[in-house]
Amino acid sequence: MERWGLGTLFWASCCLQSIQLARPAPSPELEVCAAPGGECPVDSESPGVGELLGRLFNRSYLVFRGAVPQDKVARAVRAMQRPRWSFGAMPGGAQRVMEVLELDPVFAEMIAELPEDIVQIADKVLAESWQLGSLHGHVLYPEERVLTQAERDGKGRGALHSDFPYGHATAEFGGNLTSIPEQFPYTLQLIWMLSPFTATSGSTLIFPGSHVNRTLLRDRFEPGLYETFVQNAAQVTGSPGDIILYIGQAQHLWGVNEANHTRMAILGQVLPFFFKHMESHVMKTPEYVVRRMPPLARYRLGFSRETWFKHPKRLLPFPRSPLEGAECLLDMLLVGYHGPMDLEGTIKKFKDLPEGRAELLVLAASFFFQLNRFSAVLVLIAPMLLWGCAACRFRCCCCRCTCGKRCGFQSLSGALRDSLLILLGMIFGITLLMDRLSL
């Protein structure tokens, strides 16, 4: 689909952006852990994918030590620490930081640079076209005081759960699912540790093997259920830069943070390509954010070429507001949208092109797909151009040119008024179109 435009200046800056060729990150020297205390087994050589799969389905989780470089951990922490309004930002609260992809490019880089072992495990469990159906930050604030055991148990009971989609289809959430049908696949979860995960800071607790019989957690407040969980749970500890990979249907919870620091993490959900995403990041992430992602991150997040216009931000079926229409229009004019064809990828498949020719072809094709975008901006600024022509302010206009005068653009205020009316009409049209397209 063709894209809208803003003119040569913005067009050039968008078309000449560098092409990032992301590849799966080779596995660093990782320790892969799956033991109740989080200690790592001593392997004479790196375990293969088959061995890792066996450990994962036996213990429900693996820990990959040192999987994220410390400079990226520091960038992610700085982005998460920016002031923002959100539920849960209070002592002892658990805060979800949504839209982390917009905070800093580092989060997309972390997705593109997943260790190869994790990628191969996901390929085996979910097939190669798996996607991240959820990505957000999780901040666990320290308690103001040391809690009693009864208070700890109360918070732990409320946090006990299994993950989307099956965990959200039980009676507690209005569904009727009690177990996972045999033909349905498991899902995987990722936790990127951004701060120390210790017993006192509220590290993740997982009930090893609780996924095996496919029985779902129907009611976390059922008598005796939490006590059974505590007796069998493994405290998964680690350091900033470690990644936890676990089976989403295993019972787990985040602990109580009684340390002197905030516990930070990024949570990601790995789903088969045919599963509905838990979060609608594909439909609401601005295009400028999508463009700066490594291609591999876009692919793993599910940003297909068909999602060119899905820009809603609603959770309830309310009509679009003009403010949302203005935001979407501005994003379209300043940045543009990808069409259904991957120009860069398609052109670069031709191996016999002379050196430098592929980049020129990409530039030419991008210019062609910018024509509608440029036309929209031209219509928007047309009253200003006509006013300038009428006032003989442009050398290219002859002083005898009366086009602007005949159109009534004899004053700057009149031209600005008409440009504003055109802009409001565009916003109104985009708002209606968003209502039609976002079902």
Residue 139: CB atoms within 10 Å: 21
The per-residue DSSP string of 334-374 comes to HT----SS-HHHHHTT-TTSPTTHHHHHHHHHHHHTTHHHH
Query: Which residues does residue 270 pair with via DSSP β-bridges, in sequence order?
Result: 132, 188
Instruction: Measure the CA–CA gap between 255 and 240, rounded to whole angstroms.
Output: 17
Q: Using H for helix, E for strand and C for coil, what is the string for 113-167?
A: CCEHHHHHHHHHHHCCCCEEEEEEEEEECCCCCCCCHHHHHHHHHHHCECCCCHH
Give me the phi and psi of 426, to 5 degrees please: -65, -45
Instruction: Measure the CA–CA gap between 289 and 111, rounded to whole angstroms.
Output: 14
Q: For position 16, what pLDDT does the model report?
A: 32
Q: For position 40, what pLDDT does the model report?
A: 57
Q: Give tens-digit pLDDT for 373-395.
A: 888 889 998 888 888 776 665 55
Q: For position 394, what pLDDT does the model report?
A: 52
Instruction: Measure the CA–CA gap between 332 and 328, rounded to whole angstroms.
Output: 6
Q: For position 84, what pLDDT does the model report?
A: 66
201 neighbors 195 (Cβ within 8 angstroms): yes
In Å, the largest CA–CA distance within the chain is: 91
Q: Give tens-digit pLDDT for 128-145.
A: 989 999 999 999 999 998
Q: Which residues contact 33 (CB under 8 A, 6 or more apart)?
A: 39, 40, 41, 62, 63, 65
Closest of 95, 203, 92 to residue 142, by C-alpha: 92
Element (H, E) at 80: helix 70-80
Query: Please, what's the b/e burial string for 38-67 (b: 16 or more CB within 10 A of its CB; e: otherwise)?
Result: beeeeeeeebeeeebbebbeebbbbbbbbb
pLDDT < 50 regions, the chain: 1-29, 36-38, 44, 306-316, 340, 398-400, 404, 439
Using alpha carbons, list the distances in angstroms from residue 143 to 86, 97, 170: 18, 19, 31
Domain-by-domain residue ranges, the chain? 24-293, 317-437
Which residue shows structure tokens 């990628």?
A: 119
Q: For position 314, what pLDDT does the model report?
A: 47
SS3 state at 323: helix
Instruction: Measure the CA–CA gap between 86 and 202, rounded to whole angstroms.
Output: 20
Q: In what order do the strands lie in the sheet with 252-254?
A: 234-235, 204-206, 252-254
Q: How do beta strands 94-97 and 61-64 pair?
A: unpaired
Element (H, E) at 403: helix 403-406
Q: Give tens-digit pLDDT for 77-96.
A: 999 998 765 655 677 788 89
Query: Which residues does residue 215 pair with via DSSP β-bridges, in sequence order?
Result: 179
**Token reading at 216:** 């779902």
Give me the percent of the chain exceeding a pLDDT of 90.
44
Q: For position 341, what pLDDT does the model report?
A: 52
Q: For position 26, what pLDDT does the model report?
A: 47
Instruction: Measure the CA–CA gap between 341 and 305, rounded to whole angstroms.
Output: 7
pTM higher than the cut 0.85: no
Closest of 248, 266, 283, 263 to residue 109, by C-alpha: 266
- The class of domain 24-293 in CATH terms is mainly beta
Q: Where are the alpha helices (DSSP H) in 201-272?
A: 225-232
Separation of CA 379 from chain center: 34
Q: In the 8-state DSSP scheme, what is residue 193?
A: E
The amino acid sitting at 368 is F
Instruction: Measure the CA–CA gap between 283 and 324, rounded to whole angstroms.
Output: 13
